[in-house]
Amino acid sequence: LADGTEVYQLGAAPSVLRVTAAKPNRVVSFAPALLDPQAGPKYGAEFQVDPLAGDALKTFHTDLDAAVGALGSPFEGLVQASAVVTNDKLDCKDFVGSCTTTVDVSTSVVGSPAGGEKSVVHINLSVEVSADSLGAQTCTTAADAEPYATVKMSCTVKFKLPNKTASYQVLSKPNATAEVRAALDVNAVKQKVATEFAGLGG
C-alpha cells in the first residue's frame, strides 16, 4: 500500500481479496464480484475498506453487540425437521363460543448440526376452526421439543354466538411446521466479540 503496509492478494481477477500481512489480518479491499458474481463487476474493480478507530470503532462494537443480543435462536440450516399431527381433539364450550383444539405433534429430523450439539426442534402450530354460519377463526401457538419426541399442544378460538341456544357443526384443521434451532450461547459470543475488539482498541 501507499503507506508501506504489506498486503496479501487472495484469489484472481475478478474475485480478488486483499488483506494485511501483519496480524490482526485486516481486509483492505475486495472485488464487488465477491458479493454478487453477476452484478458486482458493474460497481468497479474493487472496494476499499478503511480501518475503524476511536469513537467509530466503539460505535460499531456497540451496534454489533446489540445485533448479537437480538439473534435469539437462529434456525439450523444443515438439519431439516418435520412435524406430524395426531390425536386431534376439539372441545367447544356450550353457550360460550370458545373452542380448544388439542393435538399431539411428533417431530423427526434429517441431518446433524454443524457444531455437533444437541438439536432443538421448534414447532409452530396453526389451527383453523370453522363453524356453520359463524365463519372461521385461526389460532397459533409454538413449542420446543427434542427430535423424535411427541408433545401435546393446544390453542383456542372464540366465536361470537348470535344464538346461544343454537347448535353448530364445528370443524378443526390443525397444521404443524417444524425447524431446528441452533444452540446459541449469546453471552459467549458477546465475550468473544469483546475480546476481538479489545485487541483492536475498541
Do 104 and 87 contact (CB within 8 A), yes or no?
Answer: yes
Q: How high is the pLDDT of residue 144?
A: 92
Topology adopted by domain 80-181: Immunoglobulin-like (2.60.40)
How far apart CA 128 and CA 175 sit, in angstroms, is 8
The pLDDT assigned to 116 comes to 63
Distance CA 123, CA 153 (A): 10
Q: What is the mean pLDDT of each run of 10 residues along the chain (202 residues)?
A: 78 82 83 78 77 80 80 71 95 90 95 71 96 92 93 96 85 95 75 80 63
Do the beta carbons of residue 27 and residue 46 sit within 8 Å? no
Q: Write out the H or E segment, with its range, that includes residue 85.
A: strand 80-92
C-alpha span between 124 and 17 (Å, rounded): 42
pLDDT in the model for residue 100 = 97
Quote the pLDDT of residue 1: 64
What is d(CA 32, CA 12) in angstroms, rounded to the nearest whole number? 13
The predicted pLDDT at position 13 comes to 77
Query: What residue spans define the domains of the chain?
Result: 1-51, 55-70+186-202, 80-181
CA distances to 96, 160, 162, 174, 188 from 170, in Å:
14, 13, 15, 13, 50
CA–CA separation, 16 vs 18, rounded Å?
Answer: 7
Distance between terminal CA atoms of the chain? Answer: 24
